[in-house]
Amino acid sequence: MDIKDFQDNLVYKLYLPVICIINWFLMLAGPFYFPAFYERYCLYTIAYLALRSSLTFLYTFIGSLKTAALLRTFESEREGKGESDSNNGKEIKSTLEMGLIKDEFYYCFIIPNYKEDREVLEGTLDHIAAHPNAAQKYLVFLAIEDHEVGGEAKAKDLINAYAGKFKLMGFTVHKLR
């Protein structure tokens, strides 16, 4: 990475800290300078947060019930007991037939890089490869920027160097627009 990759970004780096400082100032000085507005603001904020947390809890609860029902149906299909009169059972059976639901699952790592040193990528890959199930469960893909000179060769070299350490390793080349 070059310093010129980050030029003209200084102005944008100041927005978040300035907004944060203004927010803290208004939060602490609000009751003294804007008491009526601040009171309504606090009430609206508390009402919003209470409603939001209640709805989040409700959606999570409903989702966990649906997941539990789906898992029960899946387990009964897997054990051969099949619930033929259940719509969920039919959905699970069709997804099983299509091969979308399997006993196996994999972890996928996508590592985007642009002008990264080979040592940095090797350190990342070494850390991932050190996990106990990396060779059986990990899929690793390198996302290479098209403008990087020698990016594809670097990716191919890394794939050859880490052959056998992951279930699958590949790369893709993309263009920034």
On whether both 70 and 133 belong to a single domain, the answer is: no
Structural domain harbouring 11: 1-99
pLDDT at 162: 92
Task: Say yes or no: 10 and 78 in one domain.
Answer: yes
- Count up the domains in the chain and report the number: 2
Neighbour tally for 42: CB within 10 Å: 12
Q: Are 142 and 111 in contact (CB under 8 A)?
A: yes
One pLDDT digit (tens) per residue for the chain, 177 residues: 566 655 666 666 777 788 778 878 877 887 787 777 777 877 888 888 899 999 999 988 888 888 878 778 777 776 765 444 444 444 444 444 444 445 577 888 999 888 888 899 999 999 999 998 888 888 899 998 888 888 889 999 999 999 889 988 888 888 776
Angle value at C-alpha 46, between 53 and 42, nearest 5 degrees: 160
